[in-house]
Structure 1
Amino acid sequence: MDINFLDIILLALACFRLTRLIVFDKITEFLRTPFFDEIEEENEEGMIEVYYSPKSTPVKKFFGELLSCYWCTGVWVSTGLVLGFLYLSTLFMPIILIAAIAGLASILESLLQIWID
């Protein structure tokens, strides 16, 4: 196994970005929808708040809980990225590089927003 420090940084940034993409981003909502029930409640100010609860069937509940947990999804994403990097590097390196650059860009954007505000 030959992973250097730069590879670890790239893998970490790629894992960060892909995990956020799966768990939070609107563009992948269609992947999460089959595993969640949408619950709407009115808060004290009269505004509607939407909550997502994993469905009750065993398989859908398992994936719903997995997709609602950033840490759990991150373990599986990092496992896939590392295995892909080690055994299918030619195929996975462009994906890792693109996700790592997007991850770093999102971190920089978040820092910039904090600095501006």
Structure 2
Amino acid sequence: MDITPMELLIFALASFRLTRLIVFDKITEFLRKPFLEEVEEKDENGEIEVFLVVKDGKLRGFLGELLSCYWCTGVWSAVFLYLLYYFYASLATPVLLILAVAGLAAIIESLVQKLIN
């Protein structure tokens, strides 16, 4: 299946946003909670740093490693989105577009924040 440069851009932005949604966002914390434990520690400046610790167990450990790895989750997000599009294009298209717009908005917001600060 050939994809156009625009479709590639949409897939890339959608995969980026889905990956961040799964790995970092508070709204999906319930997905990570059974597999990861958050540990808070104070650094030498007194600021709190949060570390993710993978829970024990074969399946929980494997999924915990996956969910704590941005690169790993990114690959599986891309595979999921592509297969969804390949088999169910009419269902996938709005999902891809929404995630792509949200991903681009996140990138723009990050750039604006860097300019302001």
Q: TM-score range, shorter-chain basis?
A: over 0.9
Q: CA deviation at 1:39?
A: 2.5
CA drift of 1:85 comes to 1.2
In structure 1, C-alpha distance between the alignment counterparts of 2:7 and 2:107, rounded to whole Å: 18
Q: Which runs of 5+ in 2 are unaligned?
A: none
Q: Deviation per CA, 1:47-67: give whole Å up to 9, x if none.
A: 543322001111101000000
User: What are the residue-to-residue correspondences of 1:4-83 with 2, within 5 Å?
Assistant: 4-83=4-83
Gaps of at least 5 residues in structure 1 are: none
CA distance in 1, matches of 2:48, 2:113: 27
Change (3 A) 1:65 1:6: same
Cα deviation for residue 46 of structure 1 reads: 4.5
Match status 1:97 vs 2:97: yes
The one-letter amino acid paired with 2:91 is L
Q: How many residues align?
A: 117
Matched residues in 1 for 2:45 and 2:112: separation? 32
1: CA distance, partners of 2:64 / 2:34:
8
What amino acid is the match of 2:63? F
> 1:36: Cα distance to partner?
1.3
Match of 2:44, SS state, is coil
* CA RMSD of superposed structures (Å): 1.4
Output one character per residue of 1:70-94: Cα deviation in whole Å (capped at 9) or x when no partner.
0000000000111111121001000
Taking the aligned partners of 1:73 and 1:16, their CA distance within structure 2 comes to 10
* CA 1:81–1:37: 2 relative to 1, 3 Å: same
